[in-house]
A and B are shown apart, each in its own frame.
Chain A
Amino acid sequence: MKSIRVQAMVLSSLYMVVIVTLGMGALAWLLQRSLTDEFDQTLRARAEGLASLVQWDGASVEFDFSQERTPWVPPSGNAGGFAIWCDDGTGWKLLEHLGLTDVVLDNAVRESESPPRNLRDASSPLRGLLVKSQVAPESKDGDAHDKNLPVEIAVTSRALQLKVFVALPRKALDHQISNMQILVSVFGVVIVAAAAIASGLAVWRGLRPLAQLSTSVASLGPNSPGARLHTAHLSVELSPVANQVNHLLARAEDVLLRERGFASAASHELRTPIAEARMLLEVALRKERTSSEWKATAASSLSVLARMQNLALALLQTARTTNTDGTEQELDSVELLSAITAKIQHLGASGHCNPLLVRLQCPAHLVIACQPTRMNLIMGNLIRNAFAHGCVDEKNPLHIEASLHEEDHDVCITLSNQAPELLQQDVERLFDPLWRKNQSRNDQEHFGLGLAITRQLVESAGGSIVARLNSDGQLSMQMRFARADAV
């Protein structure tokens, strides 16, 4: 497994080595060029001095630093100086030389061919330049300029060409360049290494928060749902990531705790019927029984099993409404007035409520966004709950009121009934799974799951439900759903 931190460190160090090496190379080249230019300036100054001394009237003087073929200078010729050649039409002739004792002007030179040697070549012991001079032809009055020539040159009718070769030994220059190269190499290696290390360390340090975040995330386990990532010293780039992870962890913990609570409550609820069944059978088996006693035991066991079956079905329904997992079914629409009226009549027919004790106020043609079956279950649970656990009679009927909120396009449905036994602290637990005001477990149908299921159904339909207890003991269940045309 590759580490981003190590990879980034190695890559940045490599980049830094390449960049600094190129930089040092460029610096070395620039320094060498600078030293050579300085040397050439000296040569040029000498050549210019020479040109001014000889005073060639009318002559054009051209300094040539180009890589033109120059006279051959043997390796030992390191004294420096100058040499002058003249081309009078018959070929180049050495007129004068000073210092360049070993300058050989032989046939080869006169032929301007062999052996050609470029004095700007680093292998040459001398570095020089050529001064090409074009001496003016003889004037009409016969005034010749040859008197100004440093050497005797035959005057001809044609223009006289001179070549002056100025050279200096390049030993000092080479020494300077060599020193510079050593200096640049040594410092270059040090600087390259330092830059690579510094760059690597900077990247290593810069990515430390990422490594810390990675370690923190890795330390999160299934046994630490309450653990959170530290965001105090994180960078602005990583902080949102850590915050988002923390947010997800908080949600996961919330779900986990809820699931644990639900599993615990369900297990708790199942213990009593299991204990009942076990005790029935254990006590019955302790001694010989008559057939009527066995019959009674079997009947009691059957009632316990029926209760367990009801509980299992209720738990299953709760689990099904809980596990939507993003596979939310598409919302349908319900015409509220007809749906509630039908439900009241249905419950009245099955004896779960008295329709005469229900006061319904609902505008016609009010359609909300909710599946009809879901709304059927929600209203059924709430109305049954009001009649089973509230105090609903002629003086205190069950009020069901539906109204439209124009501002937010929500439909508000409120069920109000008297609940004299209910306390304010009970209201907070009304929607908790398996919570019952009356703790008796003899009830075959009510396990304290109805309102928990109702809330999940409402929320899965995108709505909300809250319970409020007024000071006069009236319990209100207020639900909000989106209007169908507002979705």
Chain B
Amino acid sequence: MRILLVEDSDILRESLARGLREAGHAVDTAGDGKVGLNLAAKTEYQAIILDWMLPQRDGLSVLEELRKLGSRAGVIMLTARDTVADRVRGLATGADDYLVKPFAFEELLARVQAVARRGVGARTSTIKVGPLCIDMRARTACVMRGGTTIDLALTAREFSVLEALALHAGKPVPRLRLEEHVYDQRSQVFSNAIDSTIASIRAKLQAVGAPPLIHTRRKIGYALLEPRT
């Protein structure tokens, strides 16, 4: 998924971004509130990790502005402020979650996935589409066939594309949105990158005997659909 990380501490920002990228997410970073707001206004993020105390513009005002602009991204406030009043204030302003520094990276990762799931209405970290089962927390996919489970050996990029399709299962997902979901600012995106990734996923699904699940919607994008019975 595409994540925006706004944090003024260089070390924290870089290490968090590194960890999130290694977990298979596309991460954009900003060192102050102003840049963070510009990025969030231009790109559709599934999750935004926002520090409270930021130079230029504090996290709370960035969040307020984002909600005014109609952003539906799940926002996790990161802060050293740990009083109940601060938490309430952050959540009342529009934050979906609140994490007090210092925190465990695994916890942040789980919360990021939780707010992203909530953004598309999913209740659990596992999404099933026909025989295909996607575990977003473990970032694994498998196919159920005749009572046996066959794991799919997907790359991080392939999983991200499949995840984006699964989060909007039954609906066509534009190619641009898939790109936004998979690639961050630093990535060099080729025009056929998504198409080739989709082709690779389809091949892997076919290899384990799964029915066709990913359908092309001409001039729109792709859709993950239940197999026709």
Interface residues of A (CB under 8 A from B): 267-269, 271-272, 274-276, 278-280, 282-284, 286-287, 300, 303-304, 438-442
A274-B102 in contact (CB<8A):
yes
A-B contact pairs, 28 of them (CB 8 A): A267-B80, A268-B80, A268-B81, A271-B80, A272-B9, A272-B12, A272-B80, A274-B101, A275-B12, A275-B80, A276-B11, A276-B12, A276-B15, A278-B103, A278-B104, A279-B12, A282-B19, A286-B22, A286-B105, A303-B11, A438-B55, A439-B8, A439-B55, A440-B31, A440-B32, A441-B8, A442-B8, A442-B9
A interface, over-half SS: helix
Q: For residue B81, which residues in chain A have a CB less than 8 angstroms away from its CB?
A: 268
- A-B pairs, top 7 by smallest CB distance, nearest first, are A283-B19, A275-B102, A271-B80, A275-B101, A282-B105, A271-B101, A279-B15
Q: Judge if B53 is at the interface, Cβ distance under 8 Å.
A: yes
A282-B104 in contact (CB<8A):
yes
Question: Interface 1/0s, chain B 17-53, versus A by CB < 8 A?
Answer: 0110010000000011000000000000000000001
B58-A300 in contact (CB<8A):
no
B interface, over-half SS: loop
- Inter-chain residue pair count (beta carbon < 8 A): 71
Q: For residue A286, which residues in chain B have a CB less than 8 angstroms away from its CB?
A: 19, 22, 105
Tell me the complex Cα distance, A284–B22, Å.
10
Closest beta carbon of chain B to A102's beta carbon, Å: 109
A276-B9 in contact (CB<8A):
yes
Tell me the complex Cα distance, A439–B51, Å.
11
A275-B103 in contact (CB<8A):
yes
B12-A287 in contact (CB<8A):
no
Tell me the complex Cα distance, A440–B55, Å.
5
Q: Judge if B76 is at the interface, Cβ distance under 8 Å.
A: no
Closest beta carbon of chain A to B168's beta carbon, Å: 29
Given contacts A271-B80, A274-B101, A275-B103, contact A283 B8 (CB under 8 A): no
Q: For residue A282, which residues in chain B have a CB less than 8 angstroms away from its CB?
A: 19, 104-106
- The residue on A at minimum CB distance from B21 is A283
Tell me the complex Cα distance, A84–B45, Å.
142
Q: Which of B8, B16, B54 contacts A279 (CB 8 A)?
A: B16
Tell me the complex Cα distance, A271–B100, Å.
9
Tell me the complex Cα distance, A256–B120, Å.
48
B101-A272 in contact (CB<8A):
yes
Interface core residue of B16, B22, B31, B102 (most chain A CB under 10 Å): B102
Q: For residue B100, which residues in chain A have a CB less than 8 angstroms away from its CB?
A: 271
Tell me the complex Cα distance, A286–B23, Å.
9
A280-B80 in contact (CB<8A):
no
Question: Interface 1/0s, chain B 149-182, versus A by CB < 8 A?
Answer: 0000000000000000000000000000000000
Q: For residue B32, which residues in chain A have a CB less than 8 angstroms away from its CB?
A: 440
Question: Interface 1/0s, chain B 107-133, versus A by CB < 8 A?
Answer: 000000000000000000000000000
Closest beta carbon of chain B to A380's beta carbon, Å: 26
Tell me the complex Cα distance, A278–B105, Å.
9
Q: For residue B102, which residues in chain A have a CB less than 8 angstroms away from its CB?
A: 271, 274-275, 278-279
B55-A280 in contact (CB<8A):
no
Given contacts A275-B101, A280-B15, contact A439 B80 (CB under 8 A): no
- The residue on B at minimum CB distance from A267 is B80
Tell me the complex Cα distance, A271–B11, Å.
13
Tell me the complex Cα distance, A287–B156, Å.
15
Tell me the complex Cα distance, A439–B60, Å.
14
A304-B11 in contact (CB<8A):
yes
- The residue on B at minimum CB distance from A284 is B15
Q: Which of A287, A300, A440, A442 contacts B15 (CB 8 A)?
A: A300
B15-A283 in contact (CB<8A):
yes
Closest beta carbon of chain A to B147's beta carbon, Å: 34
Q: For residue B16, which residues in chain A have a CB less than 8 angstroms away from its CB?
A: 279, 283
Given contacts A268-B81, A276-B15, contact A441 B9 (CB under 8 A): yes
Q: For residue B104, which residues in chain A have a CB less than 8 angstroms away from its CB?
A: 278, 282
Q: For residue A441, which residues in chain B have a CB less than 8 angstroms away from its CB?
A: 8-9, 53
Closest beta carbon of chain A to B224's beta carbon, Å: 29
- The residue on A at minimum CB distance from B12 is A276
Closest beta carbon of chain A to B218's beta carbon, Å: 40
Tell me the complex Cα distance, A300–B18, Å.
14
Tell me the complex Cα distance, A274–B22, Å.
22
- The residue on B at minimum CB distance from A268 is B80
Given contacts A439-B8, A439-B53, A439-B54, contact A279 B105 (CB under 8 A): yes
Tell me the complex Cα distance, A276–B105, Å.
11
Q: For residue B10, which residues in chain A have a CB less than 8 angstroms away from its CB?
A: 442
Closest beta carbon of chain A to B55's beta carbon, Å: 4
- The residue on B at minimum CB distance from A304 is B11
Q: Which of B11, B22, B80, B101 contacts A287 (CB 8 A)?
A: B22
Given known contacts A274-B102, A283-B19, A439-B55, what 4 new A-B pairs fall within 8 Å (CB)? A272-B80, A272-B101, A282-B105, A286-B22
